[in-house]
Structure 1
Amino acid sequence: MEQDVDIDSLVRRRIRVLRLARGWSLDALAERTFLSPSNLSRIETGSRRIALDQLLPIAKALEVTVDQLIESSDGNDVVIRPRRVEQLGTTIWSLARERNPFQMSIAKMRISTPVTKATELGVHPGRDWFIVLSGTAELRLGERTMLVEAGNAAEFSTMTPHAIGAHEGPVEILTILSSDGERAHLHGSLTDSEVDS
């Protein structure tokens, strides 16, 4: 019973924090959920139990799943032990257990091969973003080639043919990819030959 109270309290805090993070008043959330502002206030403060038929529209309005609102906050699954995938001069460590609510994935990549004229440039919907952790990345966007040094980041439309390579030695990057980018970069060019890191 105490655990139910803890989860109930956690859900209330999450609803309030997510609402405030979006800069919404109770009235603004009420418009999106078709619940009254006073009802939402009582839910957030704990003076009213949260019913499932209220939780669904609240989660939808806040752009999260009901599971994300009610998942346990215990720290048992905080540490991620990434698996390493290697092929063709690139090593990738996926740094997220699951995709986040915005359908993005996070990976660290170590690239040791440069972009050459023979390198096949990829195209997919969306945008890619990366920051260089060490070394210098060579970013090919169509006919242009740019050098991105350690500490600098790049963001670009992935409808432009593109490739990332190493410039004068290995480069390590941290990248955030959309679901289309993940398919193209983490699955499209690599096989499933995984080895433990």
Structure 2
Amino acid sequence: MTPGPDTGPGPGPEGAAGTDEAADELPAVAPQLRELRRRAGLTLEAAAARARLSPAHLSRLETGRRQPSLPLLLGLARTYGTTVSELLGESPAVADPIVRAGGPGAREADGWTYWQAGGSGRGMQALRVHVPPPATAGRGPRGRGQGELIRVHPGEEWLYVLDGRLRLHLGEVEHLLEPGDSAHFDSLTPHRIGAASTGGADLLFVHTLLQSSLAGLCLGGTTTHTTTHHR
């Protein structure tokens, strides 16, 4: 959601209608906006340009003379690389940095199996993945295995082969990866992943697709369910 033009919340030269009430309701917004901008090393003009606001409008937000709407809060959070909760001065719960073995159950999709290897709700998502042998991979559109589907989407991906051999297509080039090999690539490069050994392949996989479900990844298929076994 992108903030709209600098229209202001109400009539008058400063959009004054409702401004005093807004300042009382959200007292932490103004100082947080100033602090986050300074922390990002941005001038008022540079931050306003990124947020698609006028410097005067952003200045009024930072001094508490104008109420930010929810779309504007979302846009400012993206500008400063933070969350609306931080803009409002809320203290987020500290996430547990440790993911224990035998924790979250395996999830499966068309023969692919996934185990959570990192914390949820972060900019990077980490998984441990078992890629099925080519003959047992789920069938996708037109009868092709899901590993043969070419994916293109925003983000970055990193993988490390633990066991077996992995076939990775990046653009027009095919790479054969052995245990210990890794790859790090831009997800806008057309790509597909599949096992190249009869026993399948096991890998660590890290991606930046925060909003994606397993079905949205370049790995397995279109349906998922949770199981209780672990690797």
- Please confirm whether the aligned pair reaches a TM-score higher than 0.5, indicating the same fold: yes
Distance 1:71 1:146 in 2: 49
Where 2:36 maps in the other structure, the secondary structure is: helix
Q: Which residue of 2 aligns with 1:79?
A: 96
8 Å CA contact 1:92–1:109 kept in 2: the answer is yes
Give deviations 1:43-69, integer Å, cap 9, x for gaps.
3xxxx3374238854752562564563
Q: Which residue of 2 aligns with 1:34?
A: 54
Distance 1:54 1:15 in 2: 18
Give deviations 1:100-157, integer Å, cap 9, x for gaps.
5xxxx62312215344697440123325512317346513316724216536323155
Q: Which residue of 1 aligns with 2:185?
A: 155
Q: Which residue of 1 aligns with 2:149?
A: 122
Return the letter of the residue paired with 2:38: R
More strand by share: 1
Aligned length: 180
Quote the sequence identity (%).
Answer: 13
Distance 1:90 1:7 in 2: 44
Distance 2:205 2:186 in 1: 15
More helix by share: 1
- Tell me the TM-score normalized by structure 2: 0.53
Distance 1:39 1:74 in 2: 26
Distance 1:173 1:166 in 2: 16
* Unmatched runs of 5 consecutive residues or more in structure 1: none
* Unmatched runs of 5 consecutive residues or more in structure 2: 1-25, 138-143
Pairs within 5 Å for 1:77-116:
78-79=95-96, 82=104, 84-87=106-109, 88-93=111-116, 95=118, 97-98=120-121, 100=123, 106-111=125-130, 113-115=132-134
Q: Which residue of 2 aligns with 1:192?
A: 224
Q: Which residue of 2 aligns with 1:134?
A: 162
Displacement of 1:96 in angstroms is 5.1
Displacement of 1:191 in angstroms is 3.3
Q: CA RMSD in A?
A: 4.5
Structure with max Cα Rg: 2
Q: Which residue of 1 aligns with 2:203?
A: 172
Describe the shift of the 1:170–1:91 C-alpha distance in structure 2 as closer, same or farther (beyond 3 A): same
